[in-house]
């Protein structure tokens, strides 16, 4: 159907002046004649004849306590002003595919009783899903959220898909409700500023396959205050605590699926968040825990890097071997010859061998205080060996 045929249909159906046809685009509201009473009918009329024409809507819309008992198709629409659906009920399917929302969108208190799809939609501002209920499929496939996003008291009672979704800022799921049939999938989701699901109540089947999470976000105020309003205090113990709990939940999901590789990765993220949590309030944190976290981080990155374990062993050996020689310096007779270099490195590797204690560096048998250095050094070297082995067998752990 060409533009001329569409224009004839519009004229015959009393839609004259509501729509401007230009380059296969309908520009609603140039004369501000579209409102809440006719938007549903008008877009429905257009979609009967062409599903893909882009529709520009340049008017603020407010729907209060409205019952939608027909299929709603708002796909390929661009909303330039705020749009609100408050306490509305959608009894049939709703389609927002490839829609773009330039301003805030609100679905507060609304219920979607059938499938709703937001495929490839773009939300430029925060979307409010406060007390919103999705009883069936809620499909956010390939959606982009360009502002801080919160799902507060949102009920996910069916299948909810966040596959290939991009959250460019903080995102929080808090005090949600699920059912025995609930499935929530974050497959290939990208969280640019991490996520908070610490209090989401996701007692349901979760999927986090191939997600990307910036586990050290630069924005923290939502996780710190549970409020959308921006705060510049990023040194919050609470923020790191909720992030740590979120990573623990994701880790447990992977362990339940038998995906040890991803589970270990999120264990590392969990421990890193815990380390930052302890740094925020040093007075209340225990020195033992901070020390343990520090050495676990530098020795094998919380069980994920055997190369770091080997590096820890060699660096530790160099440090303590150097101290060992400093205490013996007055008794060492050393010539920079080939034999001297060979002797130096032979004793270095003897120092590495924690099973050999009767070493005689450069022929010295009585080294007094150097023995204390040897003893402490062997403790750290042995710890390094243990951490290296742990990292090597990481995929066998569960």
User: Is 25 a residue whose pLDDT tops 80?
Assistant: no
* SS3 assignment, position 132: coil
The pLDDT-based confidence of 360 (bands split at 50, 70, 90) is low
pLDDT of 177: 97
% residues pLDDT > 70 (the chain): 79
Which segment, 44-58, 92-106, 346-360, is predicted with the most confidence on average?
92-106
Q: Residue 58 pLDDT > 90, yes or no?
A: no
Tell me the average pLDDT of the chain: 83
Find the Cα–Cα–Cα–Cα dihedral 314, 320, 322, 325, rounded to 10°. -130
Q: At what angle do helices 287-300 and 306-327 cross, to 10 degrees?
A: 110
> Could you tell me which residues come within 8 angstroms of residue 363 by beta carbon, excluding any fewer than 6 positions away?
none
pLDDT band at 43 (very low <50, low <70, confident <90, very high): confident
* 182 vs 343 pLDDT, higher one: 182
- In the structure, what pLDDT confidence band is assigned to residue 322 with cuts at 50, 70 and 90? confident
Tens of pLDDT along 96-113?
999 999 999 999 999 999
Cα 157 vs. chain centroid, distance in angstroms? 23
217-243 confidence digits (pLDDT tens): 989 989 988 887 776 665 588 899 999
Question: What's the mean pLDDT in 306-323?
Answer: 89
Residue ranges covered by each domain of the chain: 61-300, 306-396
Name the DSSP letter for residue 18.
Answer: T
pTM above 0.75, yes or no: yes
What is the structure's pLDDT at 22? 47
If DSSP codes are grouped into helix, strand and coil, which group holds residue 367?
Answer: coil
Query: What is the structure's pLDDT at 179?
Result: 96
């Amino acid at each position: 159907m060409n533009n001329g045929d569409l224009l004839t249909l519009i004229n015959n159906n009393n839609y004259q002046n509501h729509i401007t046809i230009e380059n296969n685009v309908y520009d609603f509201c140039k004369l501000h004649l579209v409102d809440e009473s006719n938007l549903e009918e008008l877009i429905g009329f257009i979609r009967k004849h062409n599903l893909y024409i882009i529709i520009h809507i340049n008017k603020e819309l407010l729907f209060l306590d409205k019952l939608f008992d027909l299929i709603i198709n708002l796909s390929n629409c661009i909303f330039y002003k705020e749009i609100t659906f408050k306490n509305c009920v959608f009894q049939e399917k709703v389609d927002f595919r490839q829609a773009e929302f330039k301003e805030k969108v609100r679905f507060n208190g609304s219920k979607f009783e059938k499938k709703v799809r937001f495929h490839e939609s773009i939300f430029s501002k925060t979307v409010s899903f406060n007390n919103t209920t999705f009883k069936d499929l809620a499909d956010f496939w390939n959606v982009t959220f360009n502002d801080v996003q919160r799902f507060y008291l949102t009920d996910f009672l069916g299948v909810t898909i966040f596959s290939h979704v991009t959250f460019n800022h903080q995102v929080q799921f808090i005090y949600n409700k699920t059912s025995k049939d609930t499935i929530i999938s974050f497959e290939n989701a990208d969280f640019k500023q991490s996520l908070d699901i610490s209090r989401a109540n996701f007692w349901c089947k979760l999927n986090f396959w191939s997600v990307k999470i910036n586990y050290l976000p630069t924005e923290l105020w939502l996780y710190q205050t549970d409020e959308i309003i921006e705060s510049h205090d990023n040194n919050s113990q609470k923020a790191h605590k909720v992030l740590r709990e979120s990573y623990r939940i994701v880790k447990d999901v992977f362990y339940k699926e038998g995906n040890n590789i991803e589970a270990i990765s999120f264990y590392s993220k969990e421990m890193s968040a815990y380390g930052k949590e302890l740094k925020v309030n040093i007075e209340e944190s225990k020195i033992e825990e901070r020390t343990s976290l520090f050495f676990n981080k530098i020795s094998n990155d919380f069980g994920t890097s055997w190369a770091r374990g080997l590096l820890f062993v060699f660096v530790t050996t160099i440090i303590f071997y150097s101290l060992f020689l400093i205490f013996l310096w007055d008794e060492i007779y050393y010539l920079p010859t080939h034999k001297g270099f060979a002797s130096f490195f032979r004793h270095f590797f003897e120092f590495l061998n924690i099973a050999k204690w009767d070493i005689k560096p450069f022929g010295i048998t009585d080294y007094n205080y150097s023995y204390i250095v040897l003893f402490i050094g062997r403790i750290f070297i042995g710890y390094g060996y243990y951490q290296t082995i742990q990292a090597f067998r990481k995929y066998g752990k569960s």
